[in-house]
Amino acid sequence: MSDTLTPSEEKLTFRRYKEGDSKPHSLREKIFQASYSHKCPTYIQSTPPCQGSCPAGEDIRRYLQIARGMEKPPAGMLWQEFAWRVLTEANPFPSVMGRVCPAPCESGCNRNEVEDHVGINSVEHFLGEYAIANHLGYKPVAKSTGKKIAILGGGPAGLSCAYQLALKGHAVTIFDEHEHLGGMMRYGIPGFRTPRAVLDAEIQRILDLGVQTRLNCHVGKDITLQEIRAQFDAVFLGMGAQSGRALPIEQAEAPNVVTATAFLRAFNDGRLKYVGQRVVVVGGGDTSIDVATVARRLGHIENARPVDTERAIAGRMAHDVAEISARQGAEVTLTSVFSVDKMQANKHEIEQALAEGIAIRGGMAPIGIVRGSDGRATALRVIQCQARFVSGRLEITQVAGTEEEIPADLIVSAIGQAVDFSGLEEFDSGRGNVATDKNYQIQGKPGVFAGGDVIRPHLLTTAIGHGAIAAEGIDRFLAGEELEKRPKIDVHTFDLMRKMLESGLKIEPVAEPIRGTDEAPVVHNFDNRSSRYVITHKELFLGHFSYVARRRRGVTTLSKETALGNFDERLHVLSEADAVAEAKRCMSCGMCFQCDNCVVYCPQTAVFRVPKSKSTVGRYVDTDYNKCIGCHICHDVCPTGYIQMGLGE
């Protein structure tokens, strides 16, 4: 076979035998005895790495299983709605996040070790669009608790918290200083990446739950914090970090030197009509550090493929400003302290910027501004540099004698964000943020919780996750309950016991001397370790999976000429057929997906299918331990790692 590969011929990354292997692997460690073993099959539900690395905590595996047809929807409901409802238990913004989330779930996907990750973000995008097109809404809670909560800030964290609290029956009022809700989703993302009709539709669903709003209202200025505390039982701080950071150079103030947040707010408000002929954007600073997505911190994926939208909103600010300027006919230069190959945007985003005529200058640090007689900046002085992270801190080493000037009519600083604590100074930790515990309750402030960029500028989906966790803490606080320690893996997971009850199956407690057996009226030898264990590709039988090409979303790439005045959406939604096909690529890590391998390959016929009248998702097979000899074959051929060897360990 030729070494030159087309995309459809790409070799699988998984191989049981590597180049140079001349002997078969020993099975001695897998088969302890020829006739018996103290270990037998156990059924272990684990968290897949996609969910473990989703900051919003979505039950990704489950909604993909619904899309592929493995878990059937309730009577009278289409699978698309069922999958959407499972998804939105964690995240009420699937259509927005399907467009702008950097998809850490995909970077952590175990399928990267076979050929390419599952297009999770694109399926989320499809489900979000389906829900909008079919006017799906949330089901309000009939009974009110009588408790009132004030949400300060209507961005992703505040809206997520309001959504979860409303579903728990609490009365919620959102205070926001802007004319419209959305926070960074509206004022930090250009409309060609998130159409405003889409954002408005997903926000309106939350308001339809009875959530009240007070817009153009800055708490601390228009209403005092004392008044808020007198009127409400709990408070959530979700103001975000919408104040931009100025350039870290002396005398950087000039009428035509602005921050990225101010630039984007003016553009999204419709106030920005002309940017000037020459625009210089300085990016790659503190707020873009976390664009190196959270999934990679799991450390087990060696062959992660680039995702469609690998970027955080903070890290994207420099690119967004540059793209808007280019589309208004300006000559744009984007500078970064990082070299181009180490910039926070992925290769695809850099290629898009270059295609639109944006000049990228990596390894450049700003050191000064050249001013004209009118006080306006005429150029940005830069110097070549080397940037690296040491113990989590950015260190920049300048190269003496390499100074130069880049002519500019407008200079934009996209190096970070700051929290506006005006009137709320008591919550400032002294480091320009809010300090909270694991439940996102502010230290020393019972009943006051926080989330999103006020804690630390990060992903939009991180803010959504913060809001959901804080809502659970607020609910417990209002009920007078102790705030429990959060689980190690804090995500939504499939509940097998609840599914059995939904299916009309009887569940009884198991006690000595029965323990777990094939005769007990329970899920025998089952343990849900989802709250403490993420399953890696090393525990799956990857040989079960053949090459299946990813269904990719269409992306519009503009040239320098076509970009001018073009603010149409770039990322296109999958067709229903492609969304289903993509969901079928999911390997269902840590949960049975009914492949029958264990039944087919068991030499003792010890593993058998559960009768349909007693089966449900996650309870598809049982083991007859009178027949089982502990040969481990069921474990070895289980593609998902759901079958582990236990009992007596």
The string of pLDDT tens digits covering residues 169-217 is: 999 999 999 999 999 899 888 887 888 999 999 999 999 999 999 999 9
According to the model, what pLDDT value does residue 565 have? 63
User: Is residue 3 very low, low, confident or very high in pLDDT (cuts 50, 70, 90)?
Assistant: very low
Residue 281, pLDDT > 90, answer no
Region 262-270 average pLDDT = 81
CB-CB neighbours of 476 under 10 Å: 15
Residue 4, pLDDT > 50, answer no
Residue 361, pLDDT > 60, answer yes
According to the model, what pLDDT value does residue 346 have? 58
According to the model, what pLDDT value does residue 1 have? 35
Residue 595, pLDDT > 70, answer yes
According to DSSP, the β-strands at 404-407 and 377-390 are antiparallel
CA–CA separation, 13 and 364 (whole Å): 37
Region 580-608 average pLDDT = 95
**The dihedral sign for the CA sequence 449, 97, 311, 294:** positive
pLDDT in tens, 422-462: 888 888 888 888 999 999 999 889 999 999 989 987 888 99
Q: Residue 444: exposed, middle, or buried by beta-carbon count in 10 A (0-12, 13-18, 19+)?
A: exposed
Of the candidates 553, 587, 421, 580, the residue with the CA atom closest to the CA atom of residue 67: 580
More confident: 314 or 235:
235
Give how far the C-alpha of residue 44 lies from the chain's centroid of Cα atoms, to the nearest Å.
25
What are the backbone dihedrals phi and psi of residue 173, each rounded to the nearest 5 degrees, phi first?
Answer: -125, 125
Of the candidates 320, 317, 293, the residue with the CA atom closest to the CA atom of residue 304: 293
CA–CA separation, 541 and 638 (whole Å): 6
Mean pLDDT of the residues in the chain: 85
- Determine which of 96-105, 300-309, 326-335 has the lowest per-residue pLDDT on average: 300-309
CA–CA separation, 196 and 64 (whole Å): 27
* Residue 273 neighbours by CB under 8 Å, 6+ apart: none
Domains (range + CATH), the chain: 25-46+495-529+591-649 (3.30.70), 148-242+419-478 (3.50.50.60), 243-417 (3.50.50.60)
User: Is residue 122 very low, low, confident or very high in pLDDT (cuts 50, 70, 90)?
Assistant: very high
Region 13-30 average pLDDT = 70
According to the model, what pLDDT value does residue 15 have? 72
pLDDT in tens, 609-632: 989 888 899 889 988 888 888 888
CA distance to 71, 91, 127, 386, per residue, from 499 (Å): 10, 21, 22, 55
289 neighbors 391 (Cβ within 8 angstroms):
no
313 neighbors 108 (Cβ within 8 angstroms):
no
According to the model, what pLDDT value does residue 624 have? 86
CB-CB neighbours of 586 under 10 Å: 26
pLDDT above 90: percentage of residues in the chain: 49
Gyration radius of the chain's alpha carbons: 27
User: Is residue 324 very low, low, confident or very high in pLDDT (cuts 50, 70, 90)?
Assistant: confident
Region 311-340 average pLDDT = 75
According to the model, what pLDDT value does residue 521 have? 58
Structure tokens at 440: 């996102």
CA–CA separation, 176 and 420 (whole Å): 13
pTM for the predicted model, two decimal places = 0.85
Residue with tokens 């802007």: 178
Kindly report the three-state secondary structure assignment for every residue of 13-25.
Answer: CCCCCCCCCCCCC
Residue 467, pLDDT > 50, answer yes
Region 11-35 average pLDDT = 66
CA–CA separation, 448 and 403 (whole Å): 49
According to the model, what pLDDT value does residue 28 have? 59
User: Is residue 311 very low, low, confident or very high in pLDDT (cuts 50, 70, 90)?
Assistant: very low
According to the model, what pLDDT value does residue 516 have? 47
CA–CA separation, 511 and 568 (whole Å): 62
Give how far the C-alpha of residue 190 lies from the chain's centroid of Cα atoms, to the nearest Å.
19
Residue 574, pLDDT > 90, answer yes
User: Is residue 509 very low, low, confident or very high in pLDDT (cuts 50, 70, 90)?
Assistant: low
According to the model, what pLDDT value does residue 388 have? 84
Residue with tokens 């990446």: 193
Region 81-90 average pLDDT = 98
User: Is residue 285 very low, low, confident or very high in pLDDT (cuts 50, 70, 90)?
Assistant: very low
User: Is residue 249 very low, low, confident or very high in pLDDT (cuts 50, 70, 90)?
Assistant: confident
Q: Is the peptide bond before 255 cis (omega within 30 degrees of 0)?
A: no
According to the model, what pLDDT value does residue 526 have? 83
User: Is residue 287 very low, low, confident or very high in pLDDT (cuts 50, 70, 90)?
Assistant: very low
Residue 578, pLDDT > 60, answer yes
CA–CA separation, 136 and 79 (whole Å): 13
Angle between helices 196-207 and 120-133 (to 10 degrees): 70
Residue 363, pLDDT > 80, answer yes
Residue 286, pLDDT > 50, answer no
* Residue 58 neighbours by CB under 8 Å, 6+ apart: 51, 87, 90, 91, 105, 124, 491, 492
Residue 468, pLDDT > 90, answer yes
According to the model, what pLDDT value does residue 297 have? 36
CA–CA separation, 529 and 525 (whole Å): 12
Residue 314, pLDDT > 60, answer no
More confident: 290 or 417:
417
Note the helical H segments in 3-93: 49-52, 60-68, 79-87
What are the backbone dihedrals phi and psi of residue 213, each rounded to the nearest 5 degrees, phi first?
Answer: -135, 150
Q: Compute the C-alpha angle 45/48/52, nearest 5°.
A: 115
pLDDT above 70: percentage of residues in the chain: 85
What single DSSP character describes residue 319?
Answer: H
CA distance to 238, 242, 466, per residue, from 453 (Å): 8, 9, 10
User: Is residue 102 very low, low, confident or very high in pLDDT (cuts 50, 70, 90)?
Assistant: confident
